[in-house]
């Protein structure tokens, strides 16, 4: 079994996407490959077929590897609930809610678990592509590190360091990272990769020669800046689109605790659709479709909407526009949210926007399920699929229109309903993340907008097929940019 670990000079340098690229390249070369990130901090999560929660970045990497996402690919997931607090997910299940200091103190107890899991992985795959988090040069965290050099040491993995040239200062970042590593950590570093390059490579080459001399490590390639419609990385969205760039304008409210904003990624495969993120009344404009996404702190984010002036704009928009609330966004559209156990807030309850006739009680038990079903709209009878991650139970008023009939839950046949829609079929609430991935509902919704705007109706592409094409494009770009033969040599792996 071979392994390689991608670490970075900082967050958002492109570690996740390069791991995905390597997973696809190794798969194309005939190897069984598995992505692995021991600890991930993200509010973008996913539910596996067996009802476990994991980070979305490892989901994309699993697809790139050609395997079903499983929680062991991301055994520890941290979901921030406040600046210094997070929900800790271990092996796909809620472990606890901890402060940053409490979690830091817990790290040593996870080492044996991570080592045992990794030994099992080594028996099942030819190659494991590991991903670090943030930077290995975070020397204040070194003594209890389980995700960067600490993890590399635990499983004896070689490391490649990635730097982002688009931000500027890439040579200083690479040199500074190496400077702050211990001698034993430096030995693990076998090379560097420069990511997100735009311009003339001939102007960059003298700098590469100099940095190789300074840090005594070879540069294994320069990956060009590219635009592919693949999911954003785990962390906060560094760059968000705030402009309308296509005939159909989809706007998503960007809360402070926004989660699963990947629910709109499938819209990127629609040629006449643009997605923008808004966080103020001034940015609202006149969208064709407005989405209220999930939230890790629904009550605080509802207060944010209220205080920013967005609530009035949303209520006014609901009179004429098309509006979807997903998970926390669904809860906000209702009449009331109660939090009797103060799980999310010090408030026991808060008034909702009163757009939908539902009420929510936040409960301590977390719902984590994969679902399949079908929408009940008169104008759309297609199948849907997705997953639920929430700690609330929502009650629909008697006589309301249930939105979805769920036929399977974690692959077990079931008969239950989810969500609500209004009589005009313009306002929808659901707990199901990924509902727009479902081709029939996405096509129905967008064609409803196209008719309204006198735009030619279209067939929607299957998102999964589109994503496969984009992953292959990614692999082609990265294969051409980096020295794969050297990477195989670093892993002590003979090519098949």
Tens of pLDDT, residues 1-53:
899 999 999 999 999 999 999 999 999 999 999 999 999 999 899 999 999 99
Instruction: Output the CA–CA distances (angstroms, integers) from residue 439 to 269, 325, 434, 443, 458, in the order listed.
Output: 11, 18, 11, 6, 12
In a domain, 438, yes or no: yes
Whichever domain contains 61, its CATH number is 3.40.50.300
In a domain, 323, yes or no: yes
Whichever domain contains 371, its CATH number is 3.40.50.880
Residues 101 and 222 in one domain: yes
Residues 425 and 478 in one domain: no
CB 186 within 8 A of CB 218: no
In a domain, 190, yes or no: yes
Residues 72 and 201 in one domain: yes
Kindly give the confidence (pLDDT) of every residue in the chain, 496 residues in length, as a single tens digit, with 9 standing for 90 and above: 899 999 999 999 999 999 999 999 999 999 999 999 999 999 899 999 999 999 999 999 999 999 999 999 999 999 988 778 899 999 999 999 899 999 999 999 999 999 999 999 999 999 999 999 999 999 999 999 999 999 999 999 999 999 999 999 999 999 999 999 999 999 999 999 999 999 999 999 999 999 999 999 999 999 999 988 887 654 444 456 778 999 999 999 999 999 999 999 999 899 999 999 999 999 999 999 999 999 999 999 999 999 999 999 999 999 999 999 999 999 999 999 999 999 888 899 999 999 999 999 999 899 999 999 999 998 887 899 999 999 989 999 998 999 999 999 998 999 999 999 999 999 999 999 999 999 999 999 999 999 999 999 999 999 999 999 999 999 999 999 999 999 999 999 977 5
The upper half-sphere exposure of residue 371, i.e. CA atoms within 13 Å in the direction of its Cβ, equals: 28
Residues 262 and 226 in one domain: no
CA–CA separation, 373 vs 407, rounded Å? 5
CB 409 within 8 A of CB 371: yes
In a domain, 243, yes or no: no
In a domain, 149, yes or no: yes
Residues 205 and 72 in one domain: yes
Residues 192 and 134 in one domain: yes
Residues 179 and 224 in one domain: yes
Tens of pLDDT, residues 73-102:
999 999 988 778 899 999 999 999 899 999
In a domain, 238, yes or no: no
Residues 27 and 95 in one domain: yes
Residues 486 and 356 in one domain: no
Residues 128 and 48 in one domain: yes
Residues 133 and 7 in one domain: yes
CA–CA separation, 209 vs 435, rounded Å? 49
- Per the structure, the complete domain to which residue 378 belongs is given by 248-454
Q: What total of structural domains would you count in the chain?
A: 2
Residues 411 and 485 in one domain: no
pTM: 0.92
Task: List the catalytic residues.
Answer: 327, 433
In a domain, 239, yes or no: no
């Amino acid at each position: 079994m071979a392994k390689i670990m991608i670490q970075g000079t900082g967050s958002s340098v492109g570690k996740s996407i390069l791991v995905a690229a390597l997973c696809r390249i190794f798969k194309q070369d005939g190897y069984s490959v598995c992505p692995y990130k021991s600890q991930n901090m993200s509010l973008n999560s996913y539910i596996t077929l067996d009802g476990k929660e994991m980070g979305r970045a490892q989901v994309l990497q699993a697809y790139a590897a050609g395997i079903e996402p499983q929680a062991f690919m991301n055994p520890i997931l941290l979901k921030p609930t406040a600046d210094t607090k997070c929900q800790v997910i271990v092996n796909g299940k809620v472990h606890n809610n901890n402060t940053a200091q409490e979690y830091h103190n817990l790290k040593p107890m996870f080492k044996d678990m991570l080592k045992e899991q990794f030994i099992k992985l080594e028996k099942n795959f030819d190659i494991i592509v590991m991903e670090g988090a943030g930077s290995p040069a975070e020397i204040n965290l070194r003594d209890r590190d389980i995700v960067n050099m600490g993890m590399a040491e635990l499983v004896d993995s070689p490391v490649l360091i990635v730097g982002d040239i688009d931000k500027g200062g890439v040579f200083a970042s690479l040199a500074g990272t190496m400077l702050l590593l211990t001698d034993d950590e430096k030995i693990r570093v076998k090379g560097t990769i420069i990511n997100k390059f735009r311009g003339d490579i001939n102007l960059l080459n003298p700098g590469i020669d100099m940095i190789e001399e300074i840090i005594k490590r070879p540069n294994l390639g320069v990956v060009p800046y590219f635009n592919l419609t693949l999911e954003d990385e785990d962390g906060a969205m560094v760059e968000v689109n705030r402009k309308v760039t296509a005939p159909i304008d989809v706007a998503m409210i960007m809360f402070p605790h926004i989660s699963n904003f990947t629910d709109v990624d499938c819209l990127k495969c629609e040629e006449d659709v643009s997605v923008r993120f808004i966080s103020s009344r001034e940015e609202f404009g006149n969208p064709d479709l407005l989405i209220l996404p999930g939230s890790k702190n629904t009550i605080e984010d509802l207060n944010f909407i209220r205080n920013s002036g967005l609530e009035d704009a949303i209520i006014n928009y609901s009179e004429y526009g098309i509006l979807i609330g997903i998970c926390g966004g669904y809860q906000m559209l209702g009449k009331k949210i109660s939090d009797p156990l103060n799980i999310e807030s010090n408030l026991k309850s808060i008034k909702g926007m009163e757009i939908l006739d539902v009420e929510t009680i936040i409960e301590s038990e977390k719902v984590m399920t994969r679902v399949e079903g079908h929408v009940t709209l008169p104008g759309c009878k297609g199948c849907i699929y997705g997953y639920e991650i929430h700690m609330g139970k929502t009650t629909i008023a008697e006589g309301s229109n249930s939105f979805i009939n769920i036929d399977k839950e974690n692959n077990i046949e079931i008969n239950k309903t989810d969500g609500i829609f209004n009589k005009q079929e313009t306002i929808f609430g659901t707990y199901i993340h990924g509902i727009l991935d479902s081709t029939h509902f996405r096509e129905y919704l967008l064609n409803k907008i196209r008719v309204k705007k006198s735009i030619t109706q279209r067939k929607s592409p299957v998102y999964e097929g589109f994503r496969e094409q984009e992953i292959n494009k990614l692999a082609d770009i990265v294969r051409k940019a980096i020295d794969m033969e050297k990477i195989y040599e670093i892993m002590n792996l003979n090519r098949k």
